[in-house]
Structure 1
Amino acid sequence: MAAPGALKFEPYHDSALARFLIRCALGSKRIGHFFFWYLRCEVTGSPYFCDRFAVILEAYLMGCGKSVLEGLHKQVQLVQSLSHVATEIKKIIPEKSDLPPNATSMVQEMLRNVELPQDFLTPYDPRIKAGSILIDRCKIMASKKKPLWLEFTCEDASGTQCQPVGIIFKHGDDLRQDMLIIQILVIMDSIWQENSLDLNLIPYGCIATGCNIGMIEIVRDATTIATVQRSKGGNTGAFKNDALCDWLRSKMQVEELYYQAMETFVTSCAGYCVATYVLGIGDRHNDNIMITEQGNLFHIDFGHILGNTKRILGVSRERVPFVLTPDFLFMMGRVNKRSSLYFQRFKDISIQAYMSLRSHSKLLVTLFSLMMLTGIPELSCMKDILYLQEALAVGKDEETAHKHFLNQIAICENLGWTVQANWWIHMFMGIKQT
């Protein structure tokens, strides 16, 4: 995503960078796939540079083979048909309205009446080939933008039926910011892997396919923290410190599997704590933090980044640098600040992960700087880049940086109750998400 964004810095349409990217795209089907969608998104959503991207996109398509063009045509047909359904749905159900009882049957009937390809490569991951749509498993999600929950058949290379492909189709949201954050998470994960740190991240598929249109991969066997808490005590489940622990144990009743899930929880929690702090990700309520039945904790919905926190009446809702609530600490055996091996492991892994990212500060800052002209709402000025530099403690010595992140953990531990209070308000008010 950064490479196409860098094209905006070139003085002419025909540049060495443009030719290099076209050659790379033509030499690799995977690179070409994403190159197509990045350019197509900018053609529809970048008024100042649309001509440039259109010329480069045409040059790429003229060099593609017939099979590649046919595959891209199917994907475009899919996006156009789903956009039509999403638009019609919003005419009937306004954004701020609750879903009527017949919402599911309504969207299923619309899907029956549009022309969809019988098979296609998923735009967010060309390694996944989806088949025909499973109408009976499709629905409208009860969030603000009324996204579509869609499922498609799937076959492996031998023709054996696999688990259905799940896609959330969003119409009305600019997913470029989510794309950027997920791609940065992939880069962070590669940095950690180089340092022998496997933090069990889940960088799910996400791609913008047009102006305020895009797709998100559905992560199977995962549920929101809010759903787990409601199952324990309704809205007051936000204050039940044992809710998450009890839920995971119910999913992993074999002792050995439970301890494996606990290890996964600790490492993934550490990874996302470090990542969300460095990237300044805000609006971290319990509906955009999820957990799998195998213990993977992961974050979704990155609408607020680089310290641009959500505010109510001019007051920031964020009280902590990242989410480390009492129920997370309870999972690690950290109750009333007593010592715990799991909590100590969490701290050790977090420090290693943080220090590893600091050693690649120049890379991260450069990547975000290249994206400043893309029109992403919360990456538009030097203040946003300065947040990243401050979070990474650029210019500080290692000992100072080490103490700095330990202090962030302490702040989260002391103010975790404020996050729980926000989560309770979120559930009580039934706030719809984007």
Structure 2
Amino acid sequence: MDMIWTMRRQTDLRFREESVQYGSNLPHFLRNINWLDRRVVEDVHWLLGLWDPGELDVHVALELLSMDFPDEIVRKLAVKRLESLPNDDVLKYLLQLVQTLKVEPYHDSFLARYLIQRALRRIGHFFFWYVRSEVAGCPYFRQRMAVILEAYLLGCGQAMINSFTQQVQAVEALQEVAMIIKRLYPDKTDLPSSGRRSNYVNISCGLDKCKVMASKKKPLWLEFSPMPSPTSSTPVGIIFKEGDDLRQDMLVIQTLVVMESIWQEQSLDLNLIPYGCISTGHNIGMIEIVRNAATIAAVQRSHGGTTAAFRNDALFEWLRSKCPLQEITVERFVKSCAGYCVATYVLGIGDRHNDNIMITDQGNLFHIDFGHILGNRKHFLGVSRERAPFVLTPDFLYVMGRLRGGNSLYFQRFRDTCSQAYLLLRSHSRLLVTLFSLMLLTGIPELSAAEDMRYLREALQEDQTEAEAKEHFLQRITECEHLGWTVQANWWIHMVAGIR
């Protein structure tokens, strides 16, 4: 018996050492198991019992929580790996983890218990709204999400419950206002009292300003007085939208946060602005207002109206009027432009017109409104309105000093930054694909089947060498330069059609 025990212990130690080497292949191995053979399953469970969860990469643990792996022991191993994550990292993947609750075999699962425990520690606010929005908008999984939400609320304390109650009441009041506005003003974009406090919003104390925005869904622009603070007196601004599913926007913004963390790990700061966005129910949600920023369309209108869509120096002149420290401004513009060019290309973000690309007074470019992803683009009479791989227009190039194809230090820096950022994302392609695959049960129309992930894999050039992938993206930059006029034409049409 001693000899058998010794041999078993040696096997355990050897397996633990080798698990570090083969951890990334664990999902592939488990997919090829005959789960109907009891003895095979017993052996697999024994092997998984020897595995050190800490030796698994996070992306592997997330992959093991997908619908491909219903086995309870497999999922337990994945959850064990997540237990060592700091709260900030859990929050980074919380959107997917809540969706993953839908594929658990039972309401009471290792993942559900883990998320409730984490929510009771710090991330409860986000957990509450992520789960509650599924209760409100997902009938098939409503019971499970309601049970999990109730379990969390039973443990979070009366003070937290009171806070959530006030938040829910505020959301319901704002939803009522939004619906009334749509009924009373079906053909108008602004209330007569635009800019003043609405009589309907009597539950949202601290509301300083409100207006109806000029958009089809008539979102509400709301500014609240901040809580007393010695560091900031800036009003808190949100856009409340009723009638749009913001979960796709949440996914894109969360992915931007993940991308930013990948870049920052390699000391590459691309000045992204992943503003806040949260779904609070079925086709209801809030978006954070980014201060001191304007849309590219507004910039162009201020420098000649609709024809400024073809004026290459309009953006440059606007930046110069806003920030006298031109060199710092251009540097920030180059970095942020590179970051969003790479991100929007990899994610296949479409419908990129000059009203959903913005810029701050300090030169920070950023994108908003992510209604089309994974290569899905708007068409007119069967023809795609967007022909360039991503937005890199002549006015963007003008800011970088790229005039008539001439050499420019800033443009070369832009190309180098794009290459570095793209290759870093490519080295984490498995994580990015996994994050999207875990959202398949969300109900997002453009992300409903495993086939939808093909765009991501092709955009990241998974089957190519690093050198080939780099050349691939540099060619996309050249393509954008050649097609810049088509983007300008599309923007001009958008501005003309949007004249009110």
TM-score by length of 2: 0.79
Q: Counterpart of 1:274 in structure 2: which amino acid?
A: V
Q: In the alignment, does 2:430 pair up with 1:362? A: yes
> Which residue in 2 is equivalent to 1:93?
185
CA distance 1:370–1:161, change in 2 (3 Å): closer
Contact between 1:108 and 1:139, CA under 8 Å: does it hold in 2?
yes
Deviation at 1:8, TM superposition (A): 1.1
> Which residue in 2 is equivalent to 1:398?
466
Deviation at 1:339, TM superposition (A): 0.5
How far apart are the structure 1 equivalents of 2:173 and 2:127? 22
> Which residue in 1 is equivalent to 2:299?
228
> Which structure has the larger Rg?
2
> Which residue in 1 is equivalent to 2:207?
133
> Which residue in 1 is equivalent to 2:92?
none
How far apart are the structure 2 equivalents of 1:149 and 1:259? 33
How far apart are the structure 2 equivalents of 1:381 and 1:313? 27
User: Bigger CA drift: 227-236 or 307-316?
Assistant: 307-316
Q: Counterpart of 2:305 in structure 1: which amino acid?
A: G
> Which residue in 2 is equivalent to 1:123?
none
Pick aligned residue for 2:237 from 141, 158, 166? 166
Q: Counterpart of 1:112 in structure 2: which amino acid?
A: N
Contact between 1:320 and 1:411, CA under 8 Å: does it hold in 2?
yes
The structure 1 segments of at least 4 consecutive aligned residues displaced by more than 4 Å after TM superposition are 106-109
SS at match of 2:442: coil
> Which residue in 1 is equivalent to 2:8?
none
Deviation at 1:235, TM superposition (A): 0.5
SS at match of 2:303: helix
How far apart are the structure 2 equivalents of 1:54 and 1:314? 43
Q: In the alignment, does 2:80 pair up with 1:10? A: no
Q: In the alignment, does 2:269 pair up with 1:198? A: yes
Contact between 2:177 and 2:200, CA under 8 Å: does it hold in 1?
no
How far apart are the structure 1 equivalents of 2:192 and 2:144? 41
Deviation at 1:431, TM superposition (A): 7.3
> Which residue in 1 is equivalent to 2:132?
40
Deviation at 1:107, TM superposition (A): 8.3
Deviation at 1:56, TM superposition (A): 0.4
Q: Counterpart of 1:234 in structure 2: which amino acid?
A: G
CA distance 1:395–1:161, change in 2 (3 Å): closer
Unaligned ranges ≥5, structure 2 = 1-94
> Which residue in 2 is equivalent to 1:185?
256
Which aligned pairs between 1:293-372 and structure 2 lie closer than 5 A? Answer: 293-372=361-440
Contact between 2:194 and 2:210, CA under 8 Å: does it hold in 1?
no
Q: Counterpart of 2:118 in structure 1: which amino acid?
A: C
Pick aligned residue for 1:265 from 333, 336, 345? 333
Deviation at 1:202, TM superposition (A): 0.4
Q: Counterpart of 1:47 in structure 2: which amino acid?
A: P
Deviation at 1:407, TM superposition (A): 0.6
Matched-pair identity in %: 66
Deviation at 1:156, TM superposition (A): 4.4
How far apart are the structure 2 equivalents of 1:354 and 1:53? 37
Deviation at 1:117, TM superposition (A): 4.2
Contact between 1:325 and 1:420, CA under 8 Å: does it hold in 2?
yes
Q: Counterpart of 1:138 in structure 2: which amino acid?
A: C
How far apart are the structure 2 equivalents of 1:150 and 1:357? 36
> Which residue in 2 is equivalent to 1:125?
none
Deviation at 1:157, TM superposition (A): 3.6
Deviation at 1:114, TM superposition (A): 3.8
How far apart are the structure 2 equivalents of 1:151 and 1:278? 34
Contact between 2:378 and 2:385, CA under 8 Å: does it hold in 1?
yes
Q: In the alignment, does 2:146 pair up with 1:54? A: yes
How far apart are the structure 2 equivalents of 1:302 and 1:374? 16
Deviations 1:346-373 (A, max 9, x none): 0000000000000101100111000011
Deviation at 1:112, TM superposition (A): 2.3
Deviations 1:186-213 (A, max 9, x none): 0000000001100000000100000000
Q: In the alignment, does 2:165 pair up with 1:73? A: yes
SS at match of 1:168: strand
Deviation at 1:47, TM superposition (A): 1.4
> Which residue in 1 is equivalent to 2:216?
144
Contact between 1:85 and 1:107, CA under 8 Å: does it hold in 2?
no
Deviation at 1:113, TM superposition (A): 3.8
SS at match of 1:149: strand
Pick aligned residue for 1:153 from 216, 219, 225? 225
Q: In the alignment, does 2:202 pair up with 1:112? A: no
Q: Counterpart of 1:98 in structure 2: which amino acid?
A: K
Deviation at 1:382, TM superposition (A): 2.4
SS at match of 2:193: helix
CA distance 1:408–1:161, change in 2 (3 Å): closer
Q: In the alignment, does 2:273 pair up with 1:210? A: no
How far apart are the structure 1 equivalents of 2:137 and 2:342? 32
Q: Counterpart of 2:213 in structure 1: which amino acid?
A: M
How far apart are the structure 2 equivalents of 1:87 and 1:185? 31
Q: Counterpart of 1:278 in structure 2: which amino acid?
A: V
> Which residue in 2 is equivalent to 1:127?
none
Contact between 2:135 and 2:146, CA under 8 Å: does it hold in 1?
yes
How far apart are the structure 2 equivalents of 1:429 and 1:354? 35
Contact between 1:306 and 1:378, CA under 8 Å: does it hold in 2?
yes
Q: Counterpart of 2:105 in structure 1: which amino acid?
A: P
> Which residue in 1 is equivalent to 2:25?
none
Contact between 2:189 and 2:215, CA under 8 Å: does it hold in 1?
no
SS at match of 2:143: helix
Deviations 1:62-114 (A, max 9, x none): 001122111111111110110010010011122xx2336xx1417856x3244
TM-score by length of 1: 0.91
Superposition RMSD in Å: 1.4
How far apart are the structure 2 equivalents of 1:397 and 1:198? 25
